[in-house]
Amino acid sequence: MTNADGSQPSPRRRSPAGAAVLREDVTEAIRAAVFEELAAVGYARMSIEGIARRAGVGKTAVYRRWRSKLHLVLDIVSAIAVQGLPAPDTGTLEGDLRVLYEVTSRALRHPVASQIIPDLQAEAARNPEIAELMQKALREGQEGVATKIVAAAERRGEIRLGVDDEIALDLISGPLYWRSVVIRHPKLPKGYLASLARATTGALKAL
């Protein structure tokens, strides 16, 4: 078949399908809705219907991206894992720890995070997939920053070379997560972060 002027018609382009038409703004709306739904009702009561309603989309839009609420939550947790935290560079071990604690404390005290993390921890005790991803999310970011803080302190001669990385990570990251997940007290005592940074510095120097 030819056009009226005798030229060949241009081939018709196919409309994009599948992942090609997954709008990023819709995906981000769904991700935000997941956090809101988790904070409001918890993982056990969370539903694809509730997520879709909060995101202002149909259930199909959710299922086109994730096949179940478990896979949706695991994807969200995985994304958190790779975000990490900025490594502070104040010039001293105590100063670096103080900055790290301030940033981490603000994140853990956020109303959404303070409700979601304990809930997912409880689900992790019953679901190995969630357990693995939660460990990845809560450990990797802190581990990366803690390793950099320790390495910088070693270069400055503030602590000895070759301290035990596992013990260092426990000393640096353990206290705030203990208060957030176990004690669940939203307000820290006055001067707590400064005292914690000073005490952790002394402990790392003693290793």
Average of pLDDT values for 74-87? 65
Say if pTM beats, i.e. exceeds, 0.75.
no
Q: What pLDDT score was predicted for residue 44?
A: 83
- pLDDT average, residue stretch 42-62: 92
Percentage of the chain exceeding pLDDT 90: 38
Give CB contacts under 8 A, 24+ apart, made by 184-188. Answer: 184/114, 184/118, 186/109, 186/114, 188/105
pLDDT at 114: 67
pLDDT at site 17: 45
Mean pLDDT highest for which of 16-25, 43-52, 138-147, 175-184? 43-52
Calculate the dihedral angle through the C-alpha atoms of 52, 58, 56, 120, rounding to the nearest 10 degrees. 10
- pLDDT tens-place string over residues 103-119: 888 877 766 666 677 77
Rounded CA-CA distance 175/20 in Å is: 45
